[in-house]
A and B are shown apart, each in its own frame.
Chain A
Amino acid sequence: MSHTLLHNVLIPFLKGAITVVALGLAAGILTWIERRLLGRLQIRKGPNRVGPQGFFQWIADTVKLVFKEDIVPSRAEKALHLLGPLLLFVPAVVVLGLVPWGPEFTLFGVTTPLHAAADLNVGLLLILAVSTIGVYGIILSGWASNSKYPLLGGLRSAAQLISYEVPMGLAVVSAILMSGSLSMVEIIEAQRKAGVWFVFPGLIAFFLYFVSGVAETNRTPFDLPEAESELVGGFHTEYSGFRWAVFFMSEYGNMISVSAVATTLFFGGWLRPFPNVAWLSFLDVIPAFFWFAGKVFLFLMVYIWFRATFPRYRFDQLMALGWKTLIPISLGNLALVAIAALWGAAGLKVLGAVLVLLVAAGFIAVWMRPARPRSSTTMASPNVEVRA
């Protein structure tokens, strides 16, 4: 086997296949994790019947969905109805492929970066471009269903994406300013060189990115395109069987992608905490990939935590939050980060320290404030005897 064939065909193909399979599996397992965690947060148990702790629930659900009848409405636009879920799923996979999962590694004498696609010098730009394609999946499936609820869901999704793409883009620009590169690997290397994760100087940018990310993946509290209490099922009302499952896989896939990009831009990707502090080098015992995966997992848990906590925004509130709050903040933040980045690595450290101190001072001020009388609300427990 020639060297070119191995490096240009076989390994990329293998890594691509692993990415797709990993995303599918992760999306499945994430449904189970989400239901269990939501159960815990809502003082109930969640699915715990199939397998240990209900772990095989997601397999049972997948099997059920595969064998369900695949209904296409008779007046639907058949080709686009089929294309919709795929258009939503493929960008999630591509984005995950563009994010580096770890540094170079050697296996069976072959050295290759732990990175499904190549490390492009315009990686971040491509991620922004590709992830935006996903909304076509929602709009097209909403329109092709030829039904009013999906259409409304699709339109809501379009409006939401346009509103939240702006603060998200501006938040990403702060990371580019801090690192001076569009390449994902170089952004991580810049964080190693700066000796500080970009989350500290980019505290506001990270917040903006994460909120916009929740909005773009149509998760609670911004799940207006689905809005099962208003629009039946939103854009996937007319879908059933495995096509519906693809929608859910892409929702979880998009969550994973947004978390992976947030990890790379603001939390140092595969780097351990404080990558330049020598005495913390014992943390290198954990391989780089697991640092990356662990950070992504934490973000996903925060997504689920949000879902358990916040009710859905009204549509005008959603628009007001995007245009009147997030975009002005992101513009101000951009100016702040630009000044600090002009100053260099020292500027980033100073900005990070100032932001962290300001937030800490704010919380201390709130905490020291004399408590206002509050209505006494107690958590009522049924306290009923349970017999085995």
Chain B
Amino acid sequence: MSFLDRILLLDIFGGLKLTAKHAARKADTVEYPEQSREPSERFRGMFRLDEERCIKCTLCAIECPINIIYIDWHTEKNAEGKAEKKLDRFDLDMKRCMFCGLCEEACPTNPRSIWLATKTYELGVYERNEGLYLDLKKLTKWDENVKPYPGVDPDKAPVNPAKEK
């Protein structure tokens, strides 16, 4: 740094200029409860199961590294007289989930039937065991604990596009 730079306090004025420039910029923050940012394309958020697509193969439960998916099923004759699997229980203990995504990778259906991209991230609950232990009803039809992300229809939640490519 030259003598002239030091005597004129160029670094000081440079710093002041930099912060002054920022004063003219629009705030990058968002007024959260009223506005929110669209999560990135890869973000999936709250679990949601498509019961129609699911073939009850239990591969997701087998693949889950911490065994938090519990599936029970029985066989029934449908109207055409063919044997069909019916779910008795599909529980997902979400309070232990680490969001590794292995269940989704194991799913053999196309498009995948577990963990649709709902983009809902407002998962705060007052009671952990009730709010974050998802049974079949909560996985397919959310209860009042989960607010759908604005603009995403939870009944037509798309499969994670980044994964399907």
Chain A interface residues toward B at CB < 8 A: 37, 39-45, 305-306, 308-310, 359, 362-363, 365-366, 381-382, 384-388
Contact = CB atoms under 8 A, between A and B. Distances in A.
A173 B35 CA distance: 56
A388 B12 CA distance: 39
B4 interface: yes
B37 interface: yes
A38 to B, nearest CB: 10
Q: Which 9 A-B pairs have the closest CB atoms?
A: A44-B29, A309-B19, A45-B27, A309-B15, A40-B23, A43-B28, A41-B19, A362-B8, A308-B19
Contacts of A388: 34-35
B5 A366 contact: yes
Contacts of A41: 19-20, 22-23
B25 interface: yes
A305 B19 contact: yes
Contacts of B30: 386
A309 B19 CA distance: 6
B27 A310 contact: no
B125 interface: no
Given A386-B37, A387-B150, A42 B22 contact: yes
Nearest to A207: B9
B16 A45 contact: no
A44 B28 contact: yes
Contacts of B28: 43-44, 381-382
Interface residues of B, number: 27
16 contacts: A41-B19, A41-B22, A43-B25, A43-B26, A43-B27, A43-B29, A44-B29, A305-B16, A305-B19, A305-B20, A309-B15, A359-B8, A362-B4, A384-B37, A387-B38, A388-B35
Contact of B8 (A309, A366, A387): A366
Contacts of B37: 384-387
Interface of B: 4-5, 7-8, 10, 12, 15-16, 18-20, 22-23, 25-31, 34-38, 150-151
A306 B20 CA distance: 10
A388 B7 CA distance: 50
A386 B151 CA distance: 13
Contacts of B16: 305-306, 309
B18 A309 contact: yes
Contact of B27 (A39, A308, A362): A39
A45 B34 CA distance: 15
B38 A384 contact: yes
Contacts of A359: 8
Given A42-B22, A43-B27, A387-B150, A366 B35 contact: no
Given A41-B19, A309-B15, A387 B35 contact: yes
A127 B35 CA distance: 51
B4 A365 contact: yes
A322 B36 CA distance: 48
B38 A385 contact: yes
A388 B23 CA distance: 23
A363 B18 CA distance: 17
Nearest to B38: A385
Contacts of A384: 37-38
Nearest to A362: B8
A310 B5 CA distance: 18
